[in-house]
Amino acid sequence: MIPQPGGSTTNNTQPTRDDNLAMGNPSGASVGDPNNYLMIKSAYTLSYNRRRGIANWVSWHLSTAWKGTVRRGNDFRADATLPRDWPIIQTADYTNTGFDRGHLCPSDDRDGSAEDNSATFLLTNIVPEAPRHNREVWKELEDYCRNLLNGNNELYIVAGTSGTGGTGANGEASKLADGKLTVPASLWKVIVVLPVGSNDLQRINSNTRVIAVNIPNRQTAADKPWYAYTLSIDDLERRTGYDFLSNLPAELQQILESRIDGGVN
């Protein structure tokens, strides 16, 4: 377990800010691939896709050590750390499109400091999301994850996008901003639930709870609860081409990734 700034592993009964990429790099992202471009922030780690103008995935750790009372910043803005010659997504690219500026790593998961909260509004962490999807079913899943912290848990979460073409308030769309910005067909999430402690990778076993969800990016997705969209990690890997939980032993991955969690516990 690699602590983030401000974290510690000396007391395994106290929540800490741990490595946002502890479970592994799902796509093998690196700084050498513009469509699988690794970006390491203090608040999360992501793989950005230059061609699509959105993240492939964002990975983060969540414990009460990341939580606080900082107000939501709402300072949506372009990410100045992208290479200068790349197309830059601006907030105006979402205006009047019928799609929300939807977070992958949520603002409420990073309200422990103004800096962390502000980082969630970088447009590399934002995707075009159907309004009801963003404000109802996806939000319910985000709230569920944070509620798990009340049981003395910590979480490792990876959220991302898959496919092309969603249905927003103005109908169907595949591209926005003259083609710079891709509308994903679905948003997905993988969640690993652990009791608070240290040496997290070593503490994951065949009884560890893992949740995988894939929710179509359309208004009508909110007609069902988030747990109606659960699937196995194996199935999600087939859909995305990614390798989740890759830092775990292969035998343990096989056990955990074959399950479907009902999401109602």
Write out the H or E segment, with its range, that includes residue 139: helix 138-148
DSSP, res 115 = H
CB atoms under 10 Å from CB of 150, counted, come to: 8
Residue 103 falls in the annotated catalytic set:
yes
> What backbone torsions phi and psi does residue 48 show, to the nearest 5 degrees?
-100, 145
Q: How far apart are CA 37 and CA 35, in angstroms?
A: 6
**DSSP secondary structure, 192-260, as one string:** EEEES-S-HHHH--TT-EEEEEEEESBGGGGGS-GGGGB--HHHHHHHH---TTTTS-HHHHHHHHT--
**Among 17, 41, 61, 103, the one annotated catalytic:** 103
Distance of alpha carbon 90 from alpha carbon 111, whole angstroms: 24
Based on C-alpha coordinates, what's the Rg of the chain?
A: 17
Cβ count within 10 A of residue 223: 11
The residues assigned a catalytic role are 103
